[in-house]
Amino acid sequence: MRKLHTLLSAALMLGMAGGAPAFAADSSMVQTAAWFPVQAAGVATAWVIGTPICVVRRSAVRIHDWTSEYADKIGGHDHFPPVLFASLLAVPFGAVAGTGEGIYYGGHNAIMHGIEHPFSMDSFSLGSDLEK
């Protein structure tokens, strides 16, 4: 039984070595293989660093938008008292909504932009368009 296993494994190894086609190293394949660790590091770094950045940016946008919207409903965003009272609701709700959006968009930007352009401003959620 032991000889049979040895013969079968030797035949399998010889069959794989002799029957497998030899591929020439294509330059694009080598470039893609060499580029993969850079892309992986870019996505991981952008995910860890870019997500908190996106959380802060999205929270600030939500707080500002909702403060203006709520202040317009109670007297106008041009006056201090309506803005003060509107911010009592807008700050906590905007922070919660912005955190959720920031986590989503931070991961989205890290993956989508980090693969094509690792370590770019857009992959770290520092681009000019917040909705990407």
Asked if residue 110 belongs to a domain, the reply is yes
What pLDDT score was predicted for residue 34? 85
Total domains, the chain: 1
Asked if residue 6 belongs to a domain, the reply is no
Core vs surface per residue 87-110: b (16+ CB within 10 A) or e: beebeeebbebbbebbeebbbebb
Claim: this prediction has a pTM higher than 0.75:
no
Question: How much is the average pLDDT of 50-57?
Answer: 95
Residue span of the structural domain in which 126 resides: 40-132
Asked if residue 10 belongs to a domain, the reply is no
Asked if residue 19 belongs to a domain, the reply is no
Asked if residue 79 belongs to a domain, the reply is yes
Asked if residue 70 belongs to a domain, the reply is yes
Label residue 1 by pLDDT band (50, 70, 90): low
* Residues 57, 118: Cα–Cα separation, whole Å: 21
What pLDDT score was predicted for residue 12? 54
Q: What is the pLDDT of residues 7-38, one digit of tens each?
A: 556 555 555 555 555 555 567 888 888 889 99
